[in-house]
Structure 1
Amino acid sequence: MGDQPSFIEEARREQIIRATIETLDEIGYVNISLAKIAKKAKVSTGLISYHFKDKEDVLNHTLIYLLKKQFEYIQDRVSEKETANDQLITFIDASLAYQVTHRINNIALIEIIFNARTEDNIPYYKLSNDEEDPIYMHLQKILRYGQETNEFSEFDLKNVSIMIQGATAESMLMTDENFDIESYKNDLVYMVTKMVK
């Protein structure tokens, strides 16, 4: 029990992580430092060092936090639906809606994935393992369920999961002001539902 962080410690860690997200959005990964995170969080760098080993530890915990929040947002909405078809449509809708409603989180996520490196100097984006991605696994589960209930036809689960997730994730990188995400969502839902039937 002594190793478990208290409610106050958890709240403080989340405060630091949220400040890290805002700082990544404002100045990017390359310019981030514990001092700048501390300033944004209105705490001392010593307090950050009490909760996290170093800057990399803060950023790793921020990455985990961002992925968890995105997964929970999508899963909460999908779990309300019963049929595989409704779950799939909701998965696409929620994936795209999250990007609009949590824009700063997406920027922070991109900053970490494309700039952070492991101790062996390997970029994070080269480490992606779909088998460990809860969003990807959830999508595969929906597609498998659709095949088991004969709502969907037979197709390669991995290939179709990659296509759908690629199409939803790619819109995160769109900066064109004229990009109509609602129209994009409707077209994507139309194409995906035709593909899986």
Structure 2
Amino acid sequence: MKGRDAEEKQTFIADARRAQIFEATIRTLDEIGYIRASMAQIAKRAGISAALISYHYRDKNDLMDYALMKLATDLSSSVLERTAAASGPREKLQAYIEASIAYQAENPARSTALIEIVFHARTADGMPYYKLQDDEDDPLENELRRILRLGQEQGEFGAFDLDAMASAIRGALDEYGFNVKLKARIDPIRFSQELVDLFSRAIGHR
């Protein structure tokens, strides 16, 4: 029993330490960017030694891979929770758009960190992450396509090319994260409402 308790305590401590390192990684990427985000800089913001980070992650690439996976998972979970609670295809599409913009607005440092990793990290052979073809399906892409397909099958949406529509919606959502000037000109609530109105007309029918 004591051995099990000790093991659970060690697991709890390790999980807490990884969470601490993750949050420090986000702050570092947000403040100084990917290129300057060394293990030492991350350790400084976490208030621990770089050696302790190396105990949990082999190197910067290993840490950034974990950070990217967690950032993407947290974003997907937040959006999918909102779409699951909505009723029909049109309501789900609205929830998808609003949740995507809201997450970016409520988590600006995480959004910046995600962009920094995707556009600056490289694989072992030098391939930029943003050029990689995902081996696993993107849950957000899958959910959007499912909503659009369901709307067409149920006759609630009009005729359109699913690939083109999904790409247009994802592009508009990503633009809000990338475009600093856009975010300065229009608040997230208004922007998401504009997108909802725009794509509600684009998908047709009612």
- 2:75 maps to 1:75: no
Q: Give the length in aligned residue pairs.
A: 194
What corresponds to 1:189 in structure 2?
Answer: 196
C-alpha deviations, 1:22-69, integer Å up to 9, x for none?
110111111111111111111222221111111110011000111011
Give the Cα separation in 2 of the matches to 1:29 and 1:101: 21
Give the Cα separation in 2 of the matches to 1:65 and 1:82: 28
Give the Cα separation in 2 of the matches to 1:170 and 1:164: 10
Counterpart selection for 1:108 from 113, 117, 122: 113
Q: What letter corresponds to residue 157 of structure 1 in structure 2? A: L
* Change in CA separation of 1:168 and 1:184 when aligned onto 2, cut-off 3 Å: same
What corresponds to 1:169 in structure 2?
Answer: 174
Q: Secondary structure at the match of 1:79?
A: helix
What corresponds to 1:178 in structure 2?
Answer: 185
* Change in CA separation of 1:172 and 1:130 when aligned onto 2, cut-off 3 Å: farther
Give the alignment's TM-score, normalised by structure 1.
0.91
* Change in CA separation of 1:131 and 1:59 when aligned onto 2, cut-off 3 Å: closer
Whether contact under 8 Å (1:131, 1:137) holds in the other structure is no
Give the Cα separation in 1 of the matches to 2:166 and 2:148: 8
Give the Cα separation in 1 of the matches to 2:195 and 2:136: 24
Q: 1:131 Cα shift?
A: 6.8
Give the Cα separation in 1 of the matches to 2:90 and 2:34: 39
What corresponds to 2:124 in structure 1?
Answer: 119
Identify the range of structure 1 (167-176 vs 23-32) with the bigger mean alpha-carbon deviation: 167-176
What corresponds to 2:146 in structure 1?
Answer: 141
Q: What letter corresponds to residue 27 of structure 2 in structure 1? A: E
**Per residue, is there more helix in 1 or in 2?**
2
Give the alignment's TM-score, normalised by structure 2.
0.88
- The sequence identity of aligned pairs, in percent, is 41
Give the Cα separation in 2 of the matches to 1:88 and 1:130: 26
Give the Cα separation in 1 of the matches to 2:21 and 2:128: 24
What corresponds to 1:36 in structure 2?
Answer: 41
Q: 1:127 Cα shift?
A: 1.2
* Change in CA separation of 1:130 and 1:140 when aligned onto 2, cut-off 3 Å: farther
Whether contact under 8 Å (1:130, 1:137) holds in the other structure is no
- 2:156 maps to 1:151: yes
What runs of 5+ residues in structure 2 fail to find an aligned partner?
A: 1-6
- 2:36 maps to 1:26: no
